[in-house]
Amino acid sequence: MSSKYDRAAVIKAIRAAAPSGGKLVFVYGNFNIVHPGHLRLLRFASECGDYLAVGVLGDQNTESAILKQNERLAGVDAISWVNYAFIMEEAPEGFIAALRPDVVVKGSEYKTSVNPEFKSIESYGGQLLFGSGDTSFSSLELIQNERNIVNHSAIKRPTEFMQRHGFSDDAMQTVLDQMAGLRVLVIGDTIVDEYVQCDPLGMSQEDPTIVVTPIMTDKFVGGAGIVAAHASGLGAKSVDFISVIGDDVTGEYAAGKLASYGLKTHFLIDDSRPTTLKQRYRAGNKTLLRVSHLRQHKISETLQQKAIECAQKILAHVDLVVFSDFNYGVLTQPLVDQISAECQRRGIMMVADSQSSSQVGDVSRFNGAALLTPTEREARIALGNYEDGLVIVARKLRDKANAENIIITLGAEGILIYAKATQADQWHTDRLDALNSAPKDPAGAGDCLLVCAAMSMALGRTIWESLYLGSLAAACQVGRIGNTPLSADELRVEMSKSNIARKA
What's the whole-number mean pLDDT along residues 448-473? 95
> Is the domain of 285 the same as that of 366?
yes
> Is the domain of 117 the same as that of 166?
no
Whether pLDDT at 494 is above 90: no
The domain boundary, picked from 89, 106, 133, lies at 133
Among 92-101, 169-178, 259-268, 464-473, the minimum mean pLDDT is found in 169-178
Band the pLDDT of 185: cuts 50, 70, 90.
Answer: very high
> Is the domain of 147 the same as that of 38?
no
* Domain contains 2: no
Q: 194 — phi, psi (to 5°)?
A: -115, 125
What's the whole-number mean pLDDT along residues 329-355? 95
What's the whole-number mean pLDDT along residues 402-426? 85
Band the pLDDT of 139: cuts 50, 70, 90.
Answer: very low
Beta strands in 355-454 (DSSP E): 371-372, 405-409, 415-420, 427-432
C-alpha distances out from residue 188 to 180, 327, 336, Å: 23, 9, 10
Range of the domain at 80: 7-133
Domains of the chain: total: 2
Among 137-151, 294-308, 371-385, 454-468, the minimum mean pLDDT is found in 137-151
Band the pLDDT of 108: cuts 50, 70, 90.
Answer: confident
CATH number at residue 100: 3.40.50.620
> Is the domain of 99 the same as that of 207?
no
> Is the domain of 125 the same as that of 151?
no
Band the pLDDT of 171: cuts 50, 70, 90.
Answer: confident
Output 205 or 65, whichever has higher pLDDT: 205
* Domain contains 37: yes
For residue 484, the SS3 value is coil
What's the whole-number mean pLDDT along residues 204-228? 87
Output 493 or 302, whichever has higher pLDDT: 302
Which amino acid is present at 496?
S
Other CB atoms within 10 A of residue 344 CB: 12
Tell me which DSSP letter residue 300 carries: P
pLDDT of residue 320: 98
The domain boundary, picked from 110, 133, 156, lies at 133
pLDDT of residue 135: 45
Tens-place pLDDT, residues 23-41: 999 999 988 777 767 888 8
Whether pLDDT at 423 is above 70: no
What's the whole-number mean pLDDT along residues 158-184? 91
* Domain contains 52: yes
* Domain contains 504: no
> Is the domain of 147 the same as that of 129?
no
pLDDT of residue 348: 97
Among 98-107, 198-207, 215-224, 239-248, the minimum mean pLDDT is found in 198-207
Q: 6 — phi, psi (to 5°)?
A: -145, 100
Q: By C-alpha distance, which of 322, 363, 357, 328 is closest to 343?
A: 322
Output 130 or 61, whichever has higher pLDDT: 130
Band the pLDDT of 358: cuts 50, 70, 90.
Answer: low
Report pTM.
Answer: 0.71
CA distance 457 to 162: 16
Task: Look over the chain and give the mean of its residue pLDDT values, rounded to a whole number.
Answer: 87
Tens-place pLDDT, residues 224-236: 999 999 999 999 9
> Is the domain of 151 the same as that of 40?
no
> Is the domain of 246 the same as that of 289?
yes
Beta strands in 107-209 (DSSP E): 127-130, 157-158, 183-188, 190-203
- Overall residue count recorded for the chain in this entry: 504
* Domain contains 410: yes
> Is the domain of 39 the same as that of 64?
yes
What proportion of the chain, given as a percentage, has pLDDT over 90? 58
CB-CB contact of 495 with 173 (8 Å)? yes
* Domain contains 138: no
Collect contacts of 301-305 with beta carbons under 8 A, ≥24 apart. 303/244, 303/268, 303/270, 304/332, 304/334, 304/335
Tens-place pLDDT, residues 114-127: 898 998 899 999 99
* Domain contains 446: yes
Output 427 or 50, whichever has higher pLDDT: 50
> Is the domain of 101 the same as that of 156?
no
CB-CB contact of 500 with 159 (8 Å)? yes
C-alpha distances out from residue 361 to 117, 137, 326, 391, Å: 65, 42, 8, 20
Whether pLDDT at 149 is above 70: no
- Tell me whether residue 296 is exposed, middle or buried, using C-beta atoms within 10 angstroms of its C-beta: 0 to 12, 13 to 18, 19 or more: middle
Whether pLDDT at 342 is above 60: yes
Tell me which DSSP letter residue 316 carries: G
Output 291 or 199, whichever has higher pLDDT: 291
Collect contacts of 265-269 with beta carbons under 8 A, ≥24 apart. 265/241, 266/240, 266/241, 266/242, 266/310, 266/314, 267/190, 267/243, 268/242, 268/243, 268/244, 268/299, 268/303, 268/306, 268/307, 269/244, 269/245
Collect contacts of 73-81 with beta carbons under 8 A, ≥24 apart. 73/1, 73/3, 73/31, 74/1, 75/31, 75/33, 75/34, 76/31, 76/34, 76/38, 76/42, 77/1, 79/34, 79/38, 79/39, 79/42, 79/141, 80/144, 81/42, 81/43, 81/45, 81/46, 81/52
| Residues whose CB falls within 8 Å of the CB of residue 255, separated by 6 or more in sequence, listed in order | 245, 265, 267
Other CB atoms within 10 A of residue 73 CB: 23
Strands 183-188 and 238-245, how do they pair?
Answer: parallel
CATH number at residue 432: 3.40.1190.20
Q: 85 — phi, psi (to 5°)?
A: -125, 145
Whether pLDDT at 502 is above 70: no
What's the whole-number mean pLDDT along residues 402-413? 92
What's the whole-number mean pLDDT along residues 52-80? 84
Among 216-230, 313-327, 419-433, the minimum mean pLDDT is found in 419-433
* Domain contains 110: yes
> Is the domain of 245 the same as that of 319?
yes
The domain boundary, picked from 81, 110, 133, lies at 133
Q: Side by side, which strands form the sheet with 427-432? A: 264-269, 238-245, 183-188, 320-325, 349-354, 371-372, 405-409, 415-420, 427-432
> Is the domain of 129 the same as that of 193?
no
pLDDT of residue 215: 80
